[in-house]
Each structure stands twice: as structure tokens, then as C-alpha cells.
Structure 1
Amino acid sequence: MEKAAEALEFEEAVLLRDQIQAIDRVIEGQRIAATVSGEQDVIALARDKDQACVQVFFIRSGKLIGRESFVLQGTRSEEPGQIMTNFIKQFYASAPHIPPLLLLQHPMEDRTIIESWLQSKRGAKVHIRVPRQGNKKQLVGIVAENAQGRIL
């Protein structure tokens, strides 16, 4: 890819970059499938100056079925927990599906209140966790790396 860019073959460089990213997504999906089972959303963020990127991975039956990233402006004065709390309130207010487990990179404010709100929307138990060790912590790390890559 770099050789193609240096030779001013930008179309080929873009094609190669896209192929590399596709391979990375497959590998990432395999890494996730090897570490997690069940149904959960995994949420992490990265920050740069006055913006943050929140990345959400959607895992169903132990498989990564999708991901979304959101760039939030004007977050310089907010703590990571505040950003996470505000994002979750806004995102799940209109989400068509709420899984039984949310894995977060940072603790959030009013966790028990938000769990109750999500449970009433879902009609079943919802747990919000910040994993400290093991496979779930590794999974949150993968999502955080992905968020960092999006903000650069």
C-alpha cells in the first residue's frame, strides 16, 4: 500500500488499504468469537483534544455482528464516565434492541438508575459492567483500540 502511494498510484493504494482493513475485521471478529459468548454490547471510547470517539461492538451468540462509531464534539471538559453516561442515555433511548449485558470501558454515573431504565425498555434484566480482568476486559480493550484508530 505504501509503495503504491509513493508511486502516486492512489487508486491501487486505496484498494489495498480497503483489503487490509477487511482482513483486519475478519481477524478481529475471530479474536472476539474466541473470547466471548452470549449477547452483549461492548462500548469504549478514545479522546483527542475536544472530541471523543465512542465505539460500540454488537455481539450476538458470541459473534461480532456489527459495530458503530460515533465522534462526539465538545467533550474536553467531560470525564470519561460522563461521556459514557451521556452516550448510553442517548444511544439506547432509540435503540431497537437492548442486550442483557453492556460491557463498558469506564464506570458510568447513575449505573443502577440506568440499568433500571434499560430493563424497563427491554422487559428483562440488563447488567452494566466494567470488566477488570479476563476475556471480557480483553474484549473491551479491542473495542478501545478500534475507537482510538477511528479518532486519529
Structure 2
Amino acid sequence: MGDIERESTGPHRFVEAVDGIRMVMLTTLSGSEPHARPMAVQETDDDGVVWLFAEHGSDKVEQIRRSPQVGLVYVDGGDYVSATGRAEVVTDVARKRELWNPFAEAWLQCEPEDDKAVLLRVEVTGAELWEAPDPVSRVLGAAKTLVLRRPPGVGDNETVVVR
């Protein structure tokens, strides 16, 4: 049970890895300090662009306007994805209507045409993926760790260059 490290290029692997994961931790810079908060993913395009709704004037929106470099962290069971990219604030009403849903309406308490609702468009530039071993392998790995006194393997790891 050895760890596997590999590298791939292009958005396909990233898009495949995050497919179906609805929540992400978005990290922005607040001055020189990182600040993370959970966000609902509205869509991930085939080219690795992630869309999120936010409230105009919120801290995260202002932080992105000052410093567009962001991080996204996804967790799904034992699988993890950490992505980096550049975010921009989008006010396109047609795009907001396309992505609008009851959750966005409940959270933002407005309609998609309202200036209060904005989109965050995150163009992912790279990602790192970890796929944890299945539960049986994890238990066996933990036992092996105790006997051999070596750190356990963390599973497969892949670096993805999206752009």
C-alpha cells in the first residue's frame, strides 16, 4: 500500500475530482491574513471555472477586489482537493439568473436582478488532489504503522495544472 504521486495538466481532472461536491471553503486575504469561510458551489464549468454567489459589499467581495488570489478547499469523505485561482466579482444579471436557485434566494434574501447579489467567478489555475485509501486499507495501514513505527501513507496524491 504505497502512496502514489502524479501530475496532470488541464482542467478535466480537477472538474472530475470536484464533481458533485456542493460546499467549498473559500480563502481570501484580509490584509496579510488568510480568511476562510464555507460557500455553496453553484457550478463548475468544464474549463475549471467555479461559480459562487455572494453579497455585494461583504468582506469576501471587498477582499477579492483588493487581492484576487484565492484558495478553494473541497472535502468529500476521504478525498480532498485544494485549489488556487484568481477570483473576480461578476454582476451580469443574465448569468445570475442562470445560476439562481432557492438556496441563493434564501441566503441572499433578494432576486437575481438585485445589485445585492453578485457572483464570484474563480478561474482555477492549479489544484492538488488526495484520494484516501478505502476504510479497510486505512485500518490495516494504522496497524502497520504501530508495528513498524513509520508514518502511515496518506493515499494517492496528484498535482493538477489547470492553466
Q: Give the TM-score normalised by the residue count of structure 2.
A: 0.28
Greater helix content = 1
Q: Give the TM-score normalised by the residue count of structure 1.
A: 0.29
Greater strand content = 2
Relative CO higher for 1 or 2, CA cutoff 8 Å, sep ≥ 6? 2
